[in-house]
Amino acid sequence: MCAGVNGCIPHNPANSINLFRVVEADTHIVEDLAKLIADGKLDAKHMEVESEFSAISAVVGGSAAGVRTFTATSSQGLALMNEVLFAASGMRLPIVMQVVNRALSAPINIWNDWQDAISARDSGWLQLYCETAQEVVDTTIQAYKIAEDKKVLIPVMVCMDGFFITHTLEPVELPDQKKVDRFLPSYKPTHAFLDPKKPMTQGPFAFPKPYMELRKQLSDAIDNSDKVIKKAHDDYAKSFGRKYGNGLIDEYKNKGKKTAIITMGTLAGTVREAVDARDDIGLVRIRSYRPFPKADLRKALKNAETVIILEKNIALGTGAGALYDEVRSALYNECKQKVLGVVCGIGGSEVTVEDVKKIADASKKKKNGNIWWLMK
């Protein structure tokens, strides 16, 4: 059953869904879901807990018991979950969590940037970034399909820009429940751990050799999840008529362009308007930050002479954003392009269409590897 313009939870007649709530910027997501449960429209158990750490801990327990689970968080809440994020991925639990991307303090800031989720990039979760509320709905349904695949079994963050998506209104088509049920059948857990009839130790102490082997298995599963993400995306497009590039990246008027702008989230909408206003730039939106779409980016950028990365994130100590470093690394062996990074939108700083145009013009005079900040 879908809920509101920002969240969608698949109906699950065979197993109840466990929803875990804390009061945060994302509160209205679980509030709408709680109302659906109270109205008898969603077969789920709603639990209110005292903190984000408790929420993710309860989600781990629910998923280990063999039911679909969901929670939502943002900013400091995601940071408070950090310890358990690693446990969830290490236990290979197919949890889905919506992350409302907001800045981390100090100083205190409630506006959007991507520092919260990108700070958790090495926690072992898949991360899918959405541009619109409609994409959030569609991606949340796909996320269960991806996470529960036997080749994956990895938790998924569905990331959306705070305020730009969560506090604005836009028309959203909620998928038909019967079609959702066909796309995502009743949950049959691959390994339900908390079963008294089949006792199993989960998350035990591990000596160095088995620990490293298990981390390698997790790394391989993340690397190989790109095929599952693409298939889930394509299957969803066939059933519901909406698609977002190939599931990993989404190109817009990029073919044959000498300058390509790479970004994620709602910032792509601003870039689209700049692309529409001139014929010398194209857009490549990264939808899957984890796994990082290296091969797809190389293919999309093969004809570009200049690559500009716009990102609402700073990898402190490097002088650049994390996305810049990852794109540059992906292009390293066959990089013929000039690669430039622009840190922008930090703490909700404004980025306009005119800014994008000026950045595209300024890139012609910049040298390869030059990084600069857009301060407004």
Q: What pLDDT digit, counting tens, does each position of 182-204 carry? A: 999 999 998 777 778 888 888 88
Among 250-254, 269-273, 362-366, which is the least confidently predicted range? 362-366
Question: Is 25 inside a domain boundary?
Answer: yes
Same domain membership, residue 289 and residue 232:
no
Same domain membership, residue 138 and residue 182:
yes
Question: Is 245 inside a domain boundary?
Answer: no
Same domain membership, residue 292 and residue 175:
no
Residue 291 has pLDDT above 70, yes or no: yes
Q: What is the pLDDT of residues 247-261, one digit of tens each?
A: 999 999 999 999 999
Tell me the DSSP string of 183-244: HS-S---S-----TTS----S----HHHHHHHHHHHHHHHHHHHHHHHHHHHHHHHHHS---
Question: Is 91 inside a domain boundary?
Answer: yes
Name the pairing type of β-strands 156-161 and 96-101: parallel
**CATH number, domain containing residue 104:** 3.40.50.970
Question: Which pLDDT value is given to residue 199?
Answer: 82
In the predicted model, what is the mean pLDDT of residues 292-313? 96
Quickly tell me which residue has 């446990």 as its tokens: 87
3-class SS at 321?
coil
Quickly tell me which residue has 């995502």 as its tokens: 184
Considering 205, 240, 275, which residue would you say is the last residue of a domain? 240
Distance CA(33)–CA(4), nearest Å, equals 8
Cβ atoms < 10 Å from Cβ of 266: 23
Structural domain tally of the chain?
Answer: 2
Indicate left, alpha or beta for 371 from its phi (over 0: left) and psi (-120 to 50: alpha): beta
In the predicted model, what is the mean pLDDT of residues 147-157? 97
Among 5-9, 25-29, 69-73, 211-215, which is the least confidently predicted range? 5-9
Question: Is 188 inside a domain boundary?
Answer: yes
Q: In the sheet that 249-252 helps form, which strands lie side by side, from edge to edge?
A: 249-252, 281-286, 259-263, 306-311, 338-343, 371-373
Considering 205, 221, 240, which residue would you say is the last residue of a domain? 240
Quickly tell me which residue has 């939108």 as its tokens: 345
Considering 177, 210, 240, which residue would you say is the last residue of a domain? 240
Same domain membership, residue 160 and residue 16:
yes
State what percent of residues in the chain have pLDDT above 70: 93
Q: What is the mean pLDDT of the chain?
A: 91
Give 320's DSSP letter: B
Same domain membership, residue 210 and residue 100:
yes
Same domain membership, residue 282 and residue 179:
no
Residue 76 structural domain: 2-240
Where helices occur in the chain by DSSP H, the ranges are 27-38, 52-65, 76-80, 82-90, 115-118, 133-147, 177-183, 208-240, 267-277, 294-300, 322-331, 353-362
Distance from the first to the final alpha carbon of the chain? 41
Residue 98 has pLDDT above 90, yes or no: yes
Distance CA(225)–CA(248), nearest Å, equals 11
Distance CA(287)–CA(299), nearest Å, equals 15
Question: Is 69 inside a domain boundary?
Answer: yes
Distance CA(63)–CA(328), nearest Å, equals 37
Residue 24 has pLDDT above 80, yes or no: no
Same domain membership, residue 177 and residue 76:
yes
Same domain membership, residue 202 and residue 105:
yes
State what percent of residues in the chain have pLDDT above 90: 80
**CATH number, domain containing residue 325:** 3.40.50.920
Same domain membership, residue 198 and residue 277:
no
Question: How many helices and strands in the chain, by DSSP H and E?
Answer: 12, 15
Same domain membership, residue 178 and residue 71:
yes
Name the pairing type of β-strands 69-74 and 96-101: parallel
Question: Is 76 inside a domain boundary?
Answer: yes
Question: Is 285 inside a domain boundary?
Answer: yes
Same domain membership, residue 85 and residue 33:
yes
* Residue 12: band (very low, low, confident or very high) from pLDDT cuts 50, 70, 90: very low
Same domain membership, residue 259 and residue 116:
no
